[in-house]
Amino acid sequence: MSTNNPSKTSRPDALWYTRCPVPTASGIAIHQGWIDQEFAKDGIVVSSLRSSPDRAVRESHFDHRQANSFRQGGNAPPIWSRSEGQDVVVVGLTWLPQYQSILTLPGSGIKTAKDLKGKRLALPRRMNDKIDFWRASALQGYLQVLAAVGLGEKDVNFVDLAVERTYIGQQKASHAGPLFDARQSAQAASAEAFALIRGEVDAIYTYGAAGPALETFLGAHVVVDINHHPDQEVAINNGTPNVLTVSGELARKHPDIVARYLSQVLRAAYWARENREEAGAIIAEEVSVVKEWLPDAFDESLYDNLLPSLDAKLVHALEVRKDFMFKHGFIKNDFSIAEWIDPKPLAAAREILKSQANKPDIRLAA
């Protein structure tokens, strides 16, 4: 007897995931083995994109072309993928309070954002990548800081810095490992740092877990601490908000699988609130820094911001980010954020977790 239920007739035997080198509940759930455990009973293997030696598969971190895949991390790649017509949907958002600053060297005379007028600002350009998320981040960081003090693009001089290396490296295959390792994280802002040291630019923008170490290495002056800017909209950028996406076809044909996956992500976010010391150790490994740097890279509110939601403020922030990328040519085609979001999987995941709340290893924190 035939059936028209696709969840029974065409259930995938493999799922894929990837995450950026930032704190995510996905990374914690992966580290704990909870996602593997959730699908092992179905014979479904869940693997990192890094487990594949095929560069095209690994590139799905940016273009989301790999079928049956989940991604959590910066918003620029999924925005770009959607604008290119890729079948990908947003199922969760988080606000990641991370290091994000404009730096100068001591003695530059640049003390505040207003002092950036007429100065040379480093703007890296990746020459061999589909989407230059770092350039988009730097440009938005600069322009939003400048706008907050009544300055604009014409008031500064942007200095292009060509970067030949690609975001995707040649790391060894790993079943659960992140796509970006410590070496890549350490190189993230090297072009800007060298330009600053050589005196070719007056200021640089940097963000992420490696930021505090770079600031310390340079003995730099923080012109603007964007992460703690009084106007939170100034901090909207690649990691604010962070985006949790999934292959659109998987969400449509197998919503139960997507909901089960998300239930483990939610579980990890709740667990992190109650187990901050252990969560911090996992996050330090995920972002490739020693644990000592975590308080400088991510303030204590981090552990309360790992829970994915589709809060209106986060949706608005994603809209601001998308509009910026379209206005400045980082994406060619505009699209509707509202139509991009599918709220059903997250709602279903919450119900799954509620039904399991009596288990001793699952606690739904307030």
The DSSP line for 325-356 is HHHTTS-SS---HHHHB--HHHHHHHHHHHHT
From the CB of residue 40, how many other CB atoms can be counted at a distance below 10 Å?
12
Q: Report the residue count for the chain.
A: 366
261: nearest Cα among 39, 89, 78, 61:
39
Angle at 190 between CA 189 and CA 196, to 5 degrees: 95
pLDDT tens digits in sequence order for the chain, 366 residues long? 333 444 455 889 999 999 998 999 999 999 999 999 999 999 999 998 988 787 778 888 888 889 999 999 999 999 999 999 999 999 999 999 999 999 999 999 999 999 999 999 999 998 888 889 999 999 999 999 999 999 999 999 999 999 887 766 666 667 767 766 666 666 677 899 999 999 999 999 999 999 999 999 999 999 999 999 999 999 999 999 999 999 999 999 999 999 999 999 999 999 999 999 999 999 999 999 999 999 999 988 999 999 999 999 999 999 999 999 999 999 999 999 999 999 999 999 999 999 887 665 555 544
- 100-235 to CATH, choices 3.90.550.10, 3.40.190.10, 3.40.50.2300, 3.40.50.920: 3.40.190.10
Residue 5 has what pLDDT?
47
> Could you identify the residue written with the tokens 């309360």?
304
Measured between alpha carbons, how far apart are the two ends of the chain, in Å? 47
Homologous superfamily of 10-96+239-355: Periplasmic binding protein-like II (3.40.190.10)
**If you ran DSSP here, which 8-state letter would residue 173 be given?**
P
Domain with CATH 3.40.190.10 in the chain: 10-96+239-355, 100-235
Could you tell me whether strands 45-48 and 204-207 are parallel, antiparallel, or unpaired per DSSP bridges? Answer: unpaired
Give just the sign of the alpha carbon dihedral 304, 309, 312, 318.
positive
Q: Tokens 């490992």 sit at which residue?
A: 177
Half-sphere exposure of 266 (CA within 13 A, CB side): 27
d(CA 63, CA 83): 10
Reference 129, options 204, 182, 58, 72; nearest CA is: 58
Instruction: Write the pLDDT tens digit of every residue in 16-35.
Output: 999 998 999 999 999 999 99
pTM of the model: 0.91
